[in-house]
Structure 1
Amino acid sequence: MPSGVAVRHVSCGDCHSCASHEKRRVWFGGAGRKRRSWRRVHQRIPTLVLEVCLQIASGANHTVALAAPSGHNQVFAWGSNAMGQLGLEDACGFSERTLPCSGSVAGLAPREGGGCEVAGEQVVRIHQADGSVRAATSMTAEQVQQAVVQGATALVLQVAEREVPKPEKQKLLRPQHVPLEVGAGEHVASSDGAVAWSSVERRWLG
């Protein structure tokens, strides 16, 4: 760390680390992933990425932070967004599509490793009949089909992995403001490599 920086908290992922400084600054350093091989980020001193940070927590390849750069609490996230774990509305770093449904879904099948898919695309969320949105990454094909029978209007599918352009990857290495559906939140929770904004029931960040 640079001279004079007193670290008060460290949050680690698989191949990156974030450290918060006594003056609520966040420093970031580690490695980036390209296909199946790892490449090192050639820098000796970590990069200062966020000011006025209150809490940080890391998943395997991303970090979420609660900060108040303009005097009120906001959520920021950076790192890999390959599965939408940063919670960004513009789907930067990955792609999704919405599949309207009524009564049943053709081609719904179990997915290797858990969850289910339609034509190779993972079911990640369900638009329910009451207008709410439900996470579906761990739901079985039978559970999703039952939700559709009960009136779900659409499934959100994660499009098969695409090659993300370099400028898009570089953008995601800097903290991105995450718009929340409800509340400003007060606590970051980290467990088993997953990061969630615990006080926001309808927004899963990783």
Structure 2
Amino acid sequence: MNAEAFDLSGLQELSLGSNAQGNFGATINEFSTDGTLADNSDTALVTERAIKTYVDGQLGGGQNDLSVNSLTAGSVTITGTAMSTTGVSGTDVNLSIGTQNNGIVTFGAQTQIGITPTAANDIVNKSYVDAQGTPTLQTLSIDDVDLSLKRRVITNASELIQKESAFFDGTDSAEGFEIINGTMQINIDKAGDLVIETT
């Protein structure tokens, strides 16, 4: 039996059972419905359903890794406890989440970041008091000469131990006393002023 006996254009080889004719690299002797492709055979052709079963199993199998250059998906659900991004050189790269039309990125719990938060890199968009141009009112003092009420402000708000100085009267001492964030108490500073101190 030869290929010329069949009116099939472009046919280069033909195999029926063990009787093979023509130029060939592999002899096909089976149509397989095995959706696992476990035999890994060069002599079997699989059916359309077997191919679909195998592909579906690979994409949906939790034991498998998927490596692609680009992925577009309607939704992605992560069932593990970690998600990381790593560049080809081993250094971390940015993970960008784009939203449109007032889209919202929702976190189910309080979210932590592995660095000290600042106004520039915090995970949420907020303003910090330390970064504001107008100083925050912290203390009040009574002048020891004319008994006038003066306002005192923090001069180093970005530090844990903070210093205050007179805001209105330039003749007052610029050093004052040190205060720490906490409860309020009445005190007398080194210039003799009665102040409400935050400690």
Q: TM (normalized to structure 1)?
A: 0.23
Which of structures 1 and 2 has the bigger CA Rg? 2
Which structure's residues are more often strand, by fraction? 1
Q: TM (normalized to structure 2)?
A: 0.23
